[in-house]
Structure 1
Amino acid sequence: MAASEARGAAGSGFGRGGRAGGGGRVPSGVRLAFVLPLLVGALVPHAFAGGGTRRWFGGRGEGQRAEAQAAKDAAAAAFYELDTAQRGLRISVETITAVDSSPEARRAVEGFEALGRRIDEVSHTYIAAVDAHDLDRDELDAATANRARSELARAKEELDRVKGELDRYEEGLAPLLGRAETQLARLAPAVERARQALRGASGALDSVRDGGLRADDLAARLAALGPELTRLNEGAGRHGVPETLQRADRVLRDAEAVRAEAERLPERAAEIDRRLVSLRTRTEALTTRTGGVEPVLSELRRRFTAPCWQDLQHVPEQAAATLRQAEERLAEAGKARAEQRWPDATSLLSTVRALLDSTDEAVSAAGDRLRRLDAVAKDPKAEIDRARFAVRDAQRLAMAGRSTPDPRHARPLDEAVARLDRAVDGLEGRHPDYWHFLTELEGVRATAAHVVGQIREDRGGGAQ
């Protein structure tokens, strides 16, 4: 930037072959401005002793020279202050661009570049004013001193004005800079946590293997993280801060997952062994129970009409087929366990459990059917009373606080009463269908429960 070049021209370049840091020739006036104060201490005593050769003009002229020199010093201070602020702000902008590629960040960079152009303009104006006037020249007249003072004062005002713009820009940059610094502060710890997680996963995997478990799938997942670690080691300078942070978080998460699964693997293997034993025992027990289904069906056929048992007549065959499937899946699960294919073993055991659950339900259904039919054949009144109580309870709730029930509630309850009466009437005769009777009364109770729930929901909503 021109401000930096100007700083070299105005001071730091002197003493290095007479050239500024930017490579340009330092004006003689600027060199004298910095060298003269060093010589005054040595020359003044001799001048007053009568040995000096400098021609001084006194009175008003010396005062104007001093005012011009003061203006020059003030402008120089303003210039260096602006240059220092610009240098510091450039570091902030570079910090933001290293982290943030958002439109807001791009606008901030554009604003800094625009400010840089204005800084260049006022810096050139200042340098031109300094070069135009040699305030140490013996022949400096009052008019020239006044003109130098005015130009240097105007240069200072422009430098101060742009410094104010720079300060306001810096204030607006604070949120972006804060976020960027936060991300940079996270970078090194995040990368280190990722590395530690990888070391932890590797150690857990080694421990599992020492215990005789292969964990090939976990080893493959850990190996897949190797290239990611390489990229982390290459650093944010190559891959960018946001991407490096994301990569570190991803490596940390994946490595922690591998470590956790490796640490759980011995327990998982033991659990699979327990489930294999438990499901084999359950399969044997269900095989025994299935043998008792046929006598139950014979009793149902002998004592009750066909609608009471015909949906159960295929239970023995279906249960036997399902148990054969369960035994096959158990054998496959045992093989997967021996080969340490843990996901396969777990999945197969879940399949076996589902098959046994369905078999258990079917086998139990025959015995439950016989018990329920026995009970209702002996005393249907208990089932009738349960259904009537449910309907009456719903009717009382429907009438609570009302002179007439809501049709939405009254209609299904009336239909439930009629359904109940028809079911009771169906018991008349020599061979009643007790299963139809039971299912009808279950439907009546379900209707009553639905109406009760609807009423409570409606009233709860109205209360709110």
Structure 2
Amino acid sequence: MAATHAKAQSSRGVTGAVGDLLGLSLLLVPLALAAVPGAFAGGGTRRWFGGRGENQRADAQAAKDAAAAAFYELDTAQRDLRISIETITAVDSSPGARRAVEDFAALGRRIDEVSHAYITAVDAHDLDRDDLESSVAARARTELTRAKDDLVRVKGELDRFEQGLAPLLDKAETQLARLAPAVERARQALRNASTALDSVRGSGLRADDLAGRLAALAPELTKLNEGAGRHGVPETLHRADRVLRDAEAVRAEAERLPERAAETDRRLVSLRTRAQALDTRATTVEPVLSELRRRFTAACWQDLQHVPEQALSTVRQAEEKLQEAAKARQEQRWPDATALLSTVRALLNATDEAVSAAGERLRRLDGVAKDPQQEIDRTRFAIRDAQRLAMAGRHTPDPRHARPLDDAVARLERAVVGLEGRHPDYWRFLTETAAVRDAAARVVELIRDERGRGQG
């Protein structure tokens, strides 16, 4: 159009032609600017295909950006959750923890699938091409939107899985939080035990058994120092607790050892004195037996006739054990010394009871021989007390209560009859009355137990 216009004006002068060209150029500049948007604004050389096409490109780019954001969020969530899973597996080997690992692996496979679909959609469409067709842009937007939706859906599954994982994770984090303090407490306990043992040895006590127990903990300390990475968190926690407990026991025993030594010395002196006293008391049994033989029937004393010999023999055994205990104390074999002293005490207790029994037998027989009525009245009172309790709140007694009480009355009467005669068996009388009182006491206990349970 510019060439035709110039030929029609050929008869005009140079000045007019130049003026026409200048005017034409001024008319053409706005048309050029309208035809090529951004030509003077520094834009690229992208092909123009109209406003609708540009909107399609913008929509596709927005879909691409949204998909990229969804991909980033899913990838970040998966990385964070993987750390949580690793935390759980480091601590927990329960079925629940193993199931969580399997579920996370299944989620990972779905994440791989939707991530691959996203990457494929991105690689399939170059939205920066100059010759991008609007149909291609529309298809890209559709595929990228679908990829974004899939990424968001799987991210939702991941979020729900993470919520269900909270109890396991809390438990694992709690154990991990315990790990370092537990190990440090175990180490400190070992140091305290070692210090206590050194102090005891400085006072002249060997404490060889405690030293051996402390030395046995050295391999455990080595494993603690190797860390949970090698031995696992649960095992390390158990080991730390075990070392703490054993080391504390060694420390406590080491601190008590001087007192234990002093107590052992006191017991040696006390039991030796007691053995000497019993040795003297044992010689008094024979005169008591002579008195029993002279005044009472054989049934009243024949079970005591071997007490003098047995008492002297038991005292000799106790003295031998005391010598062994003293030797164990000298050699600082504390468990042996303690066991031997306990044996000595048991022997002396048995001797004391046997020696006392002879004198107590004579005292009781003297009492009943002078006045048997006191023993009779004491026994009848026990029976009557039981009878009153059996009849409380009732018109007739329960046969389970009445029968043993009737038997007790009859038994007491037979014992009283047995006192008649020239040489009554007072010891049999005393054992019978004691048995009758025991029978009455059992009935009382039965009644109270039944009423306590609401049966009476």
TM-score by length of 1: 0.89
Contact 2:67 2:148 in 1 (8 A): yes
Structure 1 residue aligned with 2:408? 416
Structure 2 residue aligned with 1:195? 187
**Deviation by residue 1:294-346 (Cα, 9 ceiling, x = unmatched):** 00000000000100000000000000110000000000000000000000000
2:54 aligned with 1:62: yes
How far off is 1:56 after superposition? 3.1
2:228 aligned with 1:236: yes
Unaligned runs of 5+ in 2: 1-35
The 5 A counterparts of 1:18-417 are 47-49=39-41, 52-417=44-409
Contact 1:195 1:229 in 2 (8 A): yes
Contact 1:191 1:248 in 2 (8 A): yes
Contact 1:47 1:54 in 2 (8 A): no
How many angstroms apart in 2 are the aligned matches of 1:51 and 1:295? Answer: 136
How many angstroms apart in 1 are the aligned matches of 2:281 and 2:288? Answer: 11
2:455 aligned with 1:455: no
**Deviation by residue 1:238-276 (Cα, 9 ceiling, x = unmatched):** 111110110000000000000000000000000000000
Note closer, same or farther for the CA distance 1:133–1:305 as it changes in structure 2 (3 Å cut): same
**Deviation by residue 1:391-438 (Cα, 9 ceiling, x = unmatched):** 111111111111211111111111111111111111111111100010
In the alignment, residue 137 of structure 1 is paired with which amino acid? R
In the alignment, residue 349 of structure 2 is paired with which amino acid? D
In the alignment, residue 148 of structure 2 is paired with which amino acid? K
Structure 2 residue aligned with 1:22? none
**Deviation by residue 1:355-408 (Cα, 9 ceiling, x = unmatched):** 000000000000000000000000000000001111111111111111211111
Contact 1:75 1:126 in 2 (8 A): yes
How many angstroms apart in 2 are the aligned matches of 1:381 and 1:211? Answer: 66
Q: Give the greater-gyration-radius structure (CA).
A: 2
The 5 A counterparts of 1:436-451 are 436-451=428-443
Unaligned runs of 5+ in 1: 1-43
How far off is 1:54 after superposition? 3.2
In the alignment, residue 294 of structure 1 is paired with which amino acid? E
Structure 2 residue aligned with 1:37? none
Q: Aligned Cα RMSD in Å?
A: 1.4
How many angstroms apart in 2 are the aligned matches of 1:291 and 1:73? Answer: 112
Question: Of the candidates 414, 423, 426, which is equivalent to residue 434 of structure 1?
Answer: 426
How far off is 1:188 after superposition? 0.6
How many angstroms apart in 1 are the aligned matches of 2:69 and 2:433? Answer: 100
**Deviation by residue 1:97-153 (Cα, 9 ceiling, x = unmatched):** 111111111110111110111011101100111011111101011111110100000
TM-score by length of 2: 0.91
How many angstroms apart in 2 are the aligned matches of 1:328 and 1:45? Answer: 122
Contact 1:204 1:263 in 2 (8 A): yes
In the alignment, residue 280 of structure 1 is paired with which amino acid? R
Contact 2:64 2:122 in 1 (8 A): yes
Taking only the aligned residue pairs, the percentage that are identical comes to 82
How far off is 1:47 after superposition? 4.2
Note closer, same or farther for the CA distance 1:220–1:51 as it changes in structure 2 (3 Å cut): closer
User: What's the secondary structure of 2:349's corresponding residue?
Assistant: helix
How far off is 1:62 after superposition? 0.6
How far off is 1:46 after superposition? 7.6
In the alignment, residue 198 of structure 2 is paired with which amino acid? D
Note closer, same or farther for the CA distance 1:68–1:443 as it changes in structure 2 (3 Å cut): same
Contact 1:55 1:138 in 2 (8 A): yes
In the alignment, residue 202 of structure 2 is paired with which amino acid? D
User: What's the secondary structure of 2:452's corresponding residue?
Assistant: helix
In the alignment, residue 368 of structure 2 is paired with which amino acid? V
Contact 1:289 1:363 in 2 (8 A): yes
How many angstroms apart in 2 are the aligned matches of 1:294 and 1:462? Answer: 55
Contact 2:46 2:131 in 1 (8 A): no
In the alignment, residue 244 of structure 1 is paired with which amino acid? T
Note closer, same or farther for the CA distance 1:185–1:450 as it changes in structure 2 (3 Å cut): same
How many angstroms apart in 2 are the aligned matches of 1:369 and 1:127? Answer: 106
How many angstroms apart in 1 are the aligned matches of 2:293 and 2:229? Answer: 84
